[in-house]
Amino acid sequence: MFKQHVQGNHTVLSHPKYTSQITLDWFDANYWQQQNKIVGAKKGRATAWFFKQDKLTAVLRHYWRGGLVGKLLSDQYLYPGLEKTRVYKEFSLMSKLIELGLNVPTPVAAKVTHSGLIYRGDIITEAVKGAKSVLDILIERPLTEDELERIAKTIALFHSKGVYHADLNINNILFNDTGDVYIIDFDRGEIRAPNPQWQQSNMARLERSFLKEQGRNKPFNWQASDWQTLHSNYLKALANIS
């Protein structure tokens, strides 16, 4: 599963492969910048930092609150006990998804810093090799029918295993350098009993993200028929798995 140890007011979770290497410095982007080991960054509501350490290329992400609450509390969360923190739940979920053989980045380490009623958190995952998001691709060119089918089959497989993604969007669906589809960012995700209601809600959220990015980006190589292809392949794959 994963290792867990306490250092002062920090609890560190780590993949057994990396436990001996992890220090608290690993969760500090400034530490990697000072060593000139930052190899990239992805901007969003929060910056994800890509760093390289020996043979590992990894992504460091701090937990930030969104919406109006985020403007007041930024990165502070009410501490409900370690196993109920968003950090612990995401790290343990990703560990479980790896065990299930699903295409998610390997979780490297996570940190929960607890002070009184408040906690803050960070998570590190392996970077997906040669990753390009669906958004990145659509800005350059249309998706092929084969790519649409691969996306559909991947989501169907996750759904058949009961994997609920809280924010399924085209930034969180990646192709690696060999064309395999990965899904990332499982904050607030969980494993549920498979059910058409939440599965279709997930798909509706994904469709909205295509439309949202279409309004933001020019050019954006997407049309309604592409969604019909993706969705019909998803339903077919889900039926075949079930």
Q: What is the dihedral of CA 33, 43, 91, 202, to 10 degrees?
A: -170
Euclidean distance between CA atoms 104 and 149, whole angstroms:
18
State yes or no: is 167 an active-site residue.
yes
Name the amino acid, one letter, at 165. H
Q: In the structure encoding, which two tokens stand for residue 165, read together?
A: 């993604």
Sign of CA dihedral 42, 46, 50, 56: negative
Q: In the structure encoding, which two tokens stand for residue 186, read together?
A: 């499982």
Question: Contact at 8 Å (CB) between 76 and 62?
Answer: no
Supply φ then ψ for residue 57, to 5 degrees. -110, 125
Residue of 28, 75, 167, 187 with catalytic role: 167
Euclidean distance between CA atoms 15 and 19, whole angstroms:
6
Euclidean distance between CA atoms 104 and 184, whole angstroms:
6
The DSSP annotation for 147-192 comes to HHHHHHHHHHHHHHTTEE-TT--TTSEEE-TTS-EEE---TT-EE-
Question: Contact at 8 Å (CB) between 7 and 24?
Answer: yes
Sign of CA dihedral 175, 217, 202, 42: positive
Catalytic residues: 167
